[in-house]
């Protein structure tokens, strides 16, 4: 697999934020929904490998760029070497921390010439998203919630338009956390893990779940919605 080159050099706050969000989404996917594939690719017997997030929401485990200096700041080198020397979740959390640092460094690389107000706006937008580490480590917090008997609620509409609360309980063991269906539930907008302390709403078309705040839906508004369509599904209908 060849490293994809930079297709554009974002220069606006919005452009850099979009680039950051795409790279972040790719890395989040590698460390959550695609975690088994990611884990297998990080073979300690191979050379120094890096985890790259690309602007188009994809990820890649590969060798670092050969040019010096590189076209972009490089991710942490050799993440594969520690894989078998740590607990799986601890290793994933470590990769997540390094990935967060890389994402910010790339964003600053593009926005280094911004003035104070532009930098403030960019990092305010970035800070509104949970870090990769927060998403990856959420499983540990889910385990703590399970031990204390905490139940999580999701909002889902029935055919008659009434909102129903479906209880989801995290009920697997620590060693089988990658098989835990509920802890894998991610917001379709920000990529954040499911949290019972927040209102969530499910799309009746694609069946993905979203933070209510991410799609601007309140519990009161959800009561009057007979069939909820997420922004992506709504835009598809418009294009047709």
User: Domain of 20?
Assistant: 13-129
pLDDT of residue 227: 85
The number of residues making up the chain comes to: 240
Q: Which alpha helices (H) appear in the chain, and where do they start and end?
A: 13-31, 35-41, 88-111, 116-127, 132-147, 219-223, 231-239
> Does residue 33 share a domain with residue 67?
yes
Full pLDDT tens readout for the chain, 240 residues: 334 444 467 889 999 999 999 999 999 999 999 999 999 999 999 999 999 999 999 999 999 988 888 889 999 999 999 999 999 999 999 999 999 999 999 999 999 999 999 999 999 999 999 999 999 987 555 544 444 444 444 554 433 333 434 333 333 344 344 334 445 678 888 888 777 778 888 888 888 888 888 888 888 888 888 888 888 888 765 444
Strand partners, 193: 186
Residue 140 domain-assigned? Answer: no
**pLDDT score for 140:** 54
Residue 159's pLDDT is what?
Answer: 37
Residues 124 and 176 in one domain: no
Asked if the structure places residue 58 within a domain, the reply is yes
Assigned domain for 178 exists: yes
Q: Check whether residue 22 and residue 119 sit in a common domain.
A: yes
In 25-162 the beta strands, taken as DSSP E runs, fall at 50-53, 59-62, 152-157
The pTM of this model reads 0.58
pLDDT of residue 187: 84
Query: What is the CATH classification number for the domain harbouring 176?
Result: 3.30.40.10
State the total domains in the chain.
2
The answer to whether residue 163 is domain-embedded is yes
Q: Token pair for residue 1?
A: 């697999």
């Amino acid at each position: 697999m060849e490293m994809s080159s930079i297709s554009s050099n974002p220069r606006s706050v919005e452009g850099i934020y979009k680039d950051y969000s795409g790279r972040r989404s790719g890395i989040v996917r590698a460390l959550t929904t695609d975690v088994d594939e990611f884990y297998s690719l990080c073979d300690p017997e191979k050379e120094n490998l890096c985890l790259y997030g690309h602007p188009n929401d994809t990820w890649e485990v590969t060798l670092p760029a050969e040019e010096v200096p590189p076209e972009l700041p490089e991710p942490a080198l050799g993440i594969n070497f520690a894989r078998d020397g740590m607990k799986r979740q601890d290793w994933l959390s470590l990769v997540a921390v390094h990935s967060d640092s890389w994402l910010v460094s790339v964003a600053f690389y593009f926005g280094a010439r911004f003035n104070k107000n532009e930098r403030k706006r960019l990092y305010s937008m970035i800070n509104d998203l949970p870090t990769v580490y927060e998403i990856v480590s959420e499983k540990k917090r889910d385990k703590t919630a399970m031990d204390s008997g905490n139940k999580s609620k999701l909002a889902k509409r029935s055919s008659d338009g009434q909102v129903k609360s479906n209880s989801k309980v995290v009920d697997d063991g620590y060693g089988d956390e990658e098989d835990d269906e509920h802890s894998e539930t991610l917001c379709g907008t920000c990529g954040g893990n499911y949290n019972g302390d927040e209102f969530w709403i499910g799309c009746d078309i694609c069946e993905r779940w979203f933070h209510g705040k991410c799609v601007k839906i309140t519990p009161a508004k959800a009561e009057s919605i007979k069939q909820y369509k997420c922004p992506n599904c709504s835009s598809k209908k418009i294009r047709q």
